[in-house]
A and B are shown apart, each in its own frame.
Chain A
Amino acid sequence: MNYTKELLKHFNNPKFVKKIKNPDGVGEVGNIQCGDVMHLEIKVKDNKIEDIGFHTFGCAAAISSSDIVCELVKGKTLEEAEKITKEDIVKKLGGMPPIKVHCSVLGISALKKAIEDYKEKNK
């Protein structure tokens, strides 16, 4: 697969593979067809994503986009985080093989679920 250097960097050394202690929001999504599964946890303080961690079953594109999602939203407000698009991820990774773009959606869906989960718990 023809991956960019930036994508491979995040695939080879993902920085956000971790469990969050007492997470405020948890999101888990799976795509049975491709088989990808992503689990994402957030810690929220003052409406900002203070910390974030993920675990992903998936290919290089899935793992690297999971890591990028975390990098992009850490320190951002929930509103800012919700605005992240798959284009942002692909851009940040310096491009992605077209057939792999669907992998970037995985991270966003998991993030949205985690934020929803947080909001639900803090109604």
Chain B
Amino acid sequence: MKQIYLDNAATTKVDDEVVKAMLPYFTEKFGNASSQHLVGREAKEALEKSRKIIAKSIGAKTREIIFTSGGTESNNLALKGLFFENYPEKNHIITTKIEHDCILNSCKWLETQGAKVTYLDVDENGFVNPEEVRKAITDKTIVVSIIHGNNEIGVIQDLEAIGKICKEKNVLFHTDACQSFTKVPINFKKQNLSLVTLNSHKIHGPKGVGALYIKEGTKITPLAHGGGHERNLRGGTENVPGIVGFAKAVEISKQKDITGMAELRDKLIKEILKIPNTRLNGSNEKRLCTNVNVSFNNIEGEAIGGYLENEGIYTSTGSACMSNTLESSHVLKAIGLSPIQSNSSLRISLSKYTTEEEIDYVLEKLSKVVKKLRMISPIK
């Protein structure tokens, strides 16, 4: 049976070129980048070359990139690192209600450590109002942390407008760019960003590796103390094969792929919305090229996903039935969806490998699945 993977916001297939680039660093150039001998120096060289590639891709200085184990660790390091650096003089963090769980749960934990956190609302399209950011800033505010491209509804925030306010008010600005990296440009100067979370496995790189951009001069307390790795900000022997793969994934990302994905996304949205009683979740205009999130009224998201899986199509849902807590998506709730509308949601996330043929196949199956489930549903 055909296998159509459309859950690329969860993770992506590793590109063959990435695998090829990584392989020598497992068995031939396997050294510890801290070792002084040739094998170690080879690893160190690969590490620094990778750092340079990633720094260059976002216009940063090489020393401003700290490698981590992924987006979750980078977000933890950003928030907790800044909090402990500034506490007790300052204790306030501003974020939003649509962040990834690793930001929200870091904030919740920091609240037990003395932090005060403001969780900003978003509008029905998923946008943060920059003026709300301004209003929330106090003289105790350490950082404003706002997700760039949302993982559930794909909304891209106006970082420039928010960054301008952060600069005016002299507070740090962090963004989680896991979903947007290589797809939506980051411009530190214009956006006034001091910290940016980057990640490898959403861009066809390996899992278990990510980075945190920390603007020169930004003070942060490390979470993992070790042998001086990563400028003393993140102890632990560097994951050289992973980092090499991450850099390769960045290097091979192309504008052409983004244009292609955006076209397929638009087709998918347009055709899905022809099915009666559907709604697009999140802004149609400022949206990740990879993201489609739709509610199919009166039927349940996990059931839609289950029937699609029977056809070899893999998707995801914000339905409570898929979560371990039996709570529907906090992001869909934040944009004003009722629990039943959230439970009717389906997320389809594309990658550069997605073809038009696959999209046509999905559309054909999807309309049948929706019809069948609506027959089963008591809500008409």
- A residues contacting B by CB (< 8 A) are 1, 8, 11-12, 14, 17, 28, 32-39, 55-63, 99-100, 102
How far, in angstroms, from A32 to B326 measured CA to CA in the complex?
11
Within 8 A of A (CB), among B316-334: 319-322, 324, 326-328
Q: Does the CB pair A35–B376 fall under 8 Å?
A: no
CB contact under 8 A between A58 and B375, given known A12-B307, A34-B326, A35-B343 = no
Q: Does the CB pair B376–A39 fall under 8 Å?
A: no
Complex partner residue of B378 from A14, A33, A55, A100, CB under 8 angstroms = A55
Q: Does the CB pair A59–B378 fall under 8 Å?
A: no
> Closest CB of chain A to B27's CB: distance in Å?
35
Q: Does the CB pair A33–B326 fall under 8 Å?
A: yes
CB contact under 8 A between A11 and B326, given known A28-B378, A63-B376 = no
How far, in angstroms, from A17 to B307 measured CA to CA in the complex?
16
> Closest CB of chain B to A30's CB: distance in Å?
9
How far, in angstroms, from A39 to B378 measured CA to CA in the complex?
6
Instruction: Look across to chain B and name the residue whose beta carbon is closest to the beta carbon of A3.
Output: B306
How far, in angstroms, from A17 to B343 measured CA to CA in the complex?
21
Complex interface: chain A residues within 8 A of B377 (CB): 37, 55-57
Q: Does the CB pair B379–A35 fall under 8 Å?
A: no
Complex partner residue of A32 from B300, B321, B339, B375, CB under 8 angstroms = B339
Taking residues whose C-beta sits less than 8 angstroms from the other chain, chain B's interface range is 20 to 34
How far, in angstroms, from A61 to B319 measured CA to CA in the complex?
13
Asked if B55 CB lies within 8 Å of chain A CBs, one says no
Within 8 A of A (CB), among B344-380: 375-379
Complex interface: chain B residues within 8 A of A36 (CB): 300, 321
Q: Does the CB pair A37–B339 fall under 8 Å?
A: no
Q: Does the CB pair A33–B306 fall under 8 Å?
A: no
Q: Could you give 21 example pairs across A and B, Cβ below 8 Å?
A: A1-B302, A8-B306, A11-B303, A12-B307, A12-B310, A14-B376, A28-B378, A32-B340, A34-B321, A36-B300, A36-B321, A39-B378, A55-B377, A55-B378, A57-B300, A57-B378, A58-B303, A59-B302, A59-B322, A60-B303, A61-B321
Complex partner residue of A59 from B300, B342, B379, CB under 8 angstroms = B300
Q: Does the CB pair A1–B322 fall under 8 Å?
A: yes
Complex interface: chain B residues within 8 A of A61 (CB): 321
CB contact under 8 A between A99 and B303, given known A55-B377, A57-B298, A57-B378 = no
Complex interface: chain A residues within 8 A of B307 (CB): 12
Instruction: Look across to chain B and name the residue whose beta carbon is closest to the beta carbon of A39.
Output: B378
How far, in angstroms, from A28 to B298 measured CA to CA in the complex?
15
Q: Does the CB pair A58–B300 fall under 8 Å?
A: yes
Asked if B299 CB lies within 8 Å of chain A CBs, one says yes
> Closest CB of chain A to B372's CB: distance in Å?
9
Complex interface: chain A residues within 8 A of B320 (CB): 33-35
How far, in angstroms, from A8 to B249 measured CA to CA in the complex?
38
How far, in angstroms, from A88 to B231 measured CA to CA in the complex?
60
